[in-house]
Amino acid sequence: MKTVLFALLTGSFLFTACSSGNVTVDNSLQHYFDSAGVKGSFSLFDNGQGHFTIYDLPRYRDSLYQPGATFDILQSLIAIQTGVAKDDTASLTPDLTLGKAFRVRDDSSLAGFQALAHRIGKDTLKKWIDSLQYGNKDMGADTTAFWHDNTLKINADEQLGLLKKLYFNQLPFFQRTQEIVRRMMPGENNSSYRLTYKIAQGTKEDGHAIGWVMGWVEENKHPYFFVVNLESADPNKDLGATGLAIAKEILQQLGFFQGEK
């Protein structure tokens, strides 16, 4: 385990940490990925201390992957902000509301967000993606599911910055808009902690499965933001379940879930 110093910039989110000793690279966390038969990275930001704990720094900082269903966060913000969707009760299809589409992990969710993207329109989506400097900003020629087809890509650092901005109402959207999107995110809540997350899975150009589990854990009103990125040569492996298990195991090792943070 070693400590390094660097500045993290997440596009227009400008998520910067540059104090001495603000990053701990913890390669002991590799065994959680090895045990699950996957590759990946883990990052945790302690907002109160301004400190990062990271496994596989190059993958976290430099590697871009399709956002998959994590793009639901930004698309929902755009839809509510522009009035395309009033709130999480808005219907995307006859049987699917925005809130339900955001929480479920199946083909109906993708179909719902494809319908929502059509309503928002390519020009509006492009304007927001460009203004927020979201990932590589590439929507490609086909806008039906650019967040799933390896056109639009983002790194884990930018994902972490987006989460932090969303939590503190620091994105360029109305506070109400950000509150609604936070409310839609699934999770766990008890007297010791609140765990909030968004899960995504897709397929890379080489056929490998790619996944995200990202969110925050709160104890004693202190938020900690985390991102798990993972990859498997098995395209049928459930990286959502695997990633969530890895996130919980690492967070437990780091002392969470006891209400003592």
Question: Taking a C-beta distance cutoff of 8 angstroms, is the pair 66, 153 a contact?
Answer: yes
- Is the residue at 258 inside a domain? no
What pLDDT shows up at residue 8? 34
Classified as helix, coil or strand, 97 is strand
Can you give the CATH number for the domain in which 237 is found? 3.40.710.10
How many domains does one find in the chain?
1
Q: Can you say whether the dihedral through the CA atoms of 247, 250, 51, 231 is positive or negative? A: negative
Structural domain span for residue 22:
2-253
- Is the residue at 67 inside a domain? yes
- Is the residue at 188 inside a domain? yes
- Is the residue at 261 inside a domain? no
N- to C-terminal Cα separation, the chain: 21
What pLDDT shows up at residue 21? 73
The sheet carrying 2-4 orders its strands as 2-4, 23-25, 51-55, 39-46, 222-232, 209-219, 194-203, 187-189
Q: Report pTM.
A: 0.92
What pLDDT shows up at residue 2? 42
What pLDDT shows up at residue 181? 98
Residue ranges of the chain whose pLDDT lies below 70: 1-20
- Is the residue at 30 inside a domain? yes
What pLDDT shows up at residue 18? 39
- Is the residue at 259 inside a domain? no
What pLDDT shows up at residue 111? 95
- Distance CA(233)–CA(123), nearest Å, equals 36
- Distance CA(67)–CA(106), nearest Å, equals 16
What pLDDT shows up at residue 3? 38
